[in-house]
Every structure is written in structure tokens, then in C-alpha cells.
Amino acid sequence: EPEVTQTPSHQVTQMGQEVILRCVPISNHLYFYWYRQILGQKVEFLVSFYNNEISEKSEIFDDQFSVERPDGSNFTLKIRSTKLEDSAMYFCASRRESSYNEQFFGPGTRLTVL
Amino acid sequence: KNQVEQSPQSLIILEGKNCTLQCNYTVSPFSNLRWYKQDTGRGPVSLTIMTFSENTKSNGRYTATLDADTKQSSLHITASQLSDSASYICVVRPTSGTYKYIFGTGTRLKVLA
């Protein structure tokens, strides 16, 4: 059964460093998302991506964040200068064309900023 | 402000028992409401999806109900199993024009043998 994969599973970085979180969505999916979940808190929407451009983003997704689909397969989230408060689980998700289709989530990347 | 509130915050039940989790939302209008199961340290997995016109949706031992008038949804789990121990999250998509799914804080369920 196809699934969304994410790498790495755990990333530790120093404050101020750049990190790139990688996701491989399900191959026939067209919509891609990034979410984050701070430990013990609810999942929060970051950004949605369709047709090679951002379709929507939240207030959290400021200039420090960027997304890219460089090769038609990978979907990446870059944080340019990490802050302590960026420590969280980051989930990638994808879905097919219809808005009623379910989103499939990846296993997440745990980002720890020291 | 669009919000999704869930209760109880946590719940402990014995294996084989039934339970019902609640979700109240202030999102209006909304496109659909989803229930997810999230195991610790894993991504959420979809259980049910309901549009505003649907009252109930089942997926095996999971049955979700929706009352769009009172803006309430519930998830009923029948004959619980140890593997049901997880967080259950109610998620609302405001309208078809936005992708900003709004997540509830979840109910943490623990099933004991």
C-alpha cells in the first residue's frame, strides 16, 4: 500500500542553523501539506502546495519557511534560521484531486533545536 | 474564531468496553469533518470523513455522528481493543475554498487489559 515517507525521522540542530525536512508524497497525489505539532499540543497547519506553488499558508509560515518540490517526487520544507520554538514534529501529508479525499500523513520528522 | 474543542481530554477504559468521544466546533460554514487516530510519535490516520449533510459514518468498530445544527460530532468505539490506545483527533475543514484544516486538541484514549 502506498504511503507518505519522511526523512529524517529525527533532526537535531543548533539554533540559527538551516534545516531541510524531506517528504515523498504518494505518487498520484496532487495536493501537499506541511503541519507541525509541538509536544503535547494540537496539530497546526503550516502550508498547502498545489501545481508547483503555495496555495495557502498560515501565520506560522513566515519568511523563515519555504517549500519546494524540486524534482516532481520530493516535497521539502526548509527552515532558514531555526529558533528554539521551532522544535516540534513536522508532518507532511498528501491527497488526491477531490477535496473530499482523505489526507495521508507521513510518520513525521522530530526536529529538536538546541 | 474558528475552533474545535474535544472532550474528554483523556479517557481510560477496559478492553471490550465501548466509549464515545465528543467534538464541538465553532467553524462555520464548514466543508467536512474528519476523525483521525494518532498513535504516539506517528502521523494521524483517517478514520471517517463526513460532509455537513451526513449524519453518520462507520468504519469497522468506529462510528462517527454529526449534528450540523448543534455543531457537534461524536466518535463511538465499540468493543475496544488494546490497539485502540491512541489520540483521537477531530478535524474540520472550514469551506471548500481553504486548506486550513482546523485540528482539535484530541482525546487521549488508553485501553487496559
> pLDDT category, B96, cuts 50, 70, 90?
low
Residues 6+ apart with CB under 8 A from A65: A46, A47, A77, A78, A79, A80
Residues in chain B with CB shorter than 8 Å from the CB of A104 are 46
Over 90: is that where the pLDDT of A113 sits? yes
Q: Kind and range of the H or E element at B30?
A: none
Q: Each residue of A52-75: pLDDT tens digit?
A: 999 999 999 999 999 999 887 899
> What's the mean pLDDT when you consider all of chain A?
92
- Phi/psi of residue A88, nearest 5 degrees: -175, 175
> CB-based contact (8 Å) between B3 and chain A?
no
Percent with pLDDT over 90 in chain A: 78
Confidence of residue B40 (pLDDT cuts 50, 70, 90): confident
CB contact under 8 A, A91 and B104: no
Check B101 against A45: CB less than 8 A apart.
Answer: yes
Residue A43 to residue B34, Cβ atoms within 8 A: no
Give residue A100's pLDDT: 67
Name the residue in chain B with its Cα closest to that of A45.
B100
- Among the residue ranges A97-101, B23-27, B31-35, the one predicted with the least confidence is A97-101
Window B:79-108, CB contacts with A under 8 Å: 89, 93, 96, 98-106
The answer to whether the CB atoms of A99 and B98 lie below 8 A apart is no
Residues A20, A78 contacting (CB under 8 angstroms): yes
B86 close to B37: Cβ distance less than 8 angstroms: yes
- Whether B60 has a pLDDT exceeding 90, the answer reads yes
- What is the band of A99 on the pLDDT scale with cuts at 50, 70, 90? low
Name the residue of chain B whose CA is nearest to A54's CA.
B99
Beta bridge partners of A78: A20, A66
For residue A34, what pLDDT band results from cuts at 50, 70 and 90? Answer: very high
Report the pLDDT value the prediction gives residue B38, as an integer from 0 to 100: 93
Give B1→chain A minimum CA distance, Å. 15
A48 contacts B99? CB cut-off 8 A: yes
Q: What percent of chain B has pLDDT over 70?
A: 98
**DSSP at B73:** E
What is the pLDDT averaged over residues B27-45?
89
> For residue A79, what is its C-alpha cell?
527552515
Radius of gyration of chain B (CA): 13
Are A47 and A54 a contacting pair, CB within 8 Å?
yes
Residue B45 corresponds to which cell in the numbers above?
490516520
| CB-based contact B32 A33, cutoff 8 Å | no
pLDDT tens digits, residue range A74-95?
Answer: 999 999 999 999 999 999 999 8
